[in-house]
Amino acid sequence: MLRRADKAGERLERALEGGPIPHNVETRRAIAAAGALAPGHTRNPARIQQTHDAMMAAFQRTLHPLETRDDAGTDDGLDEVELHRTEVALPGGGQLVVSDLEEITPERLEETAAALAEILARRAKDHQS
């Protein structure tokens, strides 16, 4: 009986390594069981390395945070941004407020007011029908 088990094991190993599949029922059942236990997909080594690198980078950032300056946010020019604001009366009694980081020129203001007046006129036609 021990010899029979050894031969069955050898046939199973040969079949799993890509050899010929034996015709006996026991070995076929063992191959089917091994196939059921095998994972359905394999992991991509590049994705594993990419995940590991991202995890280690996050760990290093946690261990060694960037130094903060005591004078951060002062005199760096970011808090001195001027916001340009202009109000324009629209035809029909509306009012348009235009704000921009750049200077608002009269040409841009007229174009914006005309475009908005056109949009409002189209919407008014939609409500009348």
| Helix residue spans in 38-100 (DSSP H) | 45-63
pLDDT of residue 119: 85
As for how many domains the chain has, the answer is: 2
Name, in order, each residue with C-beta under 8 angstroms of 51's C-beta and a sequence gap of 6 or more.
none
Would you say residue 106 lies in a domain?
Answer: yes
Would you say residue 122 lies in a domain?
Answer: yes
Would you say residue 96 lies in a domain?
Answer: yes
| pLDDT > 90? residue 37 | no
| pLDDT > 70? residue 22 | no
Strands 84-89 and 95-100: antiparallel
Would you say residue 58 lies in a domain?
Answer: no
Determine the Cα–Cα distance for residues 122 and 116; give it in Å rounded to an integer: 10
Would you say residue 101 lies in a domain?
Answer: yes
Q: 30 versus 52: which is more confidently predicted? A: 52
pLDDT of residue 67: 82
Would you say residue 19 lies in a domain?
Answer: yes
Q: What percent of the chain has pLDDT over 70?
A: 73
Domain coverage including residue 97: 84-128
pLDDT of residue 115: 86
Would you say residue 74 lies in a domain?
Answer: no
Mean per-residue pLDDT of the chain: 77
Q: Are 34 and 14 in contact (CB under 8 A)?
A: no
Rounded to 10 deg, the angle between the 2-16 and 25-37 helix axes is 50
pLDDT of residue 1: 44
Count of Cβ atoms closer than 10 Å to residue 11 Cβ: 21
Would you say residue 10 lies in a domain?
Answer: yes
pLDDT of residue 57: 93
